[in-house]
Amino acid sequence: MTVANVDLKTIGFFSLVGQAYVFKFMWAPMMDRYTPPFLGRRRGWLLISQVLLIGFIASMALLEPGKHLWWLAAIAVLVAFCSASQDIVFDAYKTDLLPADQRGSGAAISVLGYRLATLVSGGLALWLADRYLGWLVTYVLMALLLLPGIIATLRAPEPVLDAPAPRTLEQAMFAPLRDFFSRNKAWLIYC
């Protein structure tokens, strides 16, 4: 970006994009505590995050990187937030739906999907935008790639949960932390 004369503040702002995944633990309890009024506790949040992702990615298509770099960076942060939120809920969905002996395979398939999505949305998208399709078409196509996920969310079963959603934020946020740190040698996580 410095070669293209992008100032350091803008480059720094783009570095915020990855921070959503670092700090997703901060809003994950809220997504467990509150249930959307449609599709249930897991699928409702999945649908919300997917619809927001489509909207934000499609809005990126309408911006010209050379003219609207700050807006592009801001929307990229929102895309990362929604993507990290989808990751939170999808992990919870897998855990709720899969039996314990299948969770390892489920996690492996999830990581494969994540890696493929990273390749498509990163290098491949930029290459297509530069060489063949242009920015607008590439980002509209990327937004449309989320449609199969929405269809899957609408068709998937809502897992039957053994425990109800936490009733308070204390139950959702602080009780699990107290439980974890009361375990023998929990402090080793800091090493």
Could you tell me the residue ranges of all domains in the chain? 22-170
**Which range is least confidently modeled, 6-10, 117-121, 127-131, 142-146?**
6-10
pLDDT at 3: 42
- Better pLDDT: 5 or 74: 74
Average pLDDT over residues 44-58: 97
Residue 80: pLDDT band (50, 70, 90) is very high
- Better pLDDT: 13 or 92: 92
pTM (2 d.p.) = 0.84
pLDDT at 5: 58
Contacts 24+ apart (CB under 8 A), 54-58: 54/143, 54/144, 54/146, 54/147, 54/150, 55/143, 56/82, 57/139, 57/142, 57/143, 57/146, 58/139, 58/140, 58/143
Asked if residue 152 has pLDDT above 80, the reply is: yes
pLDDT at 191: 62
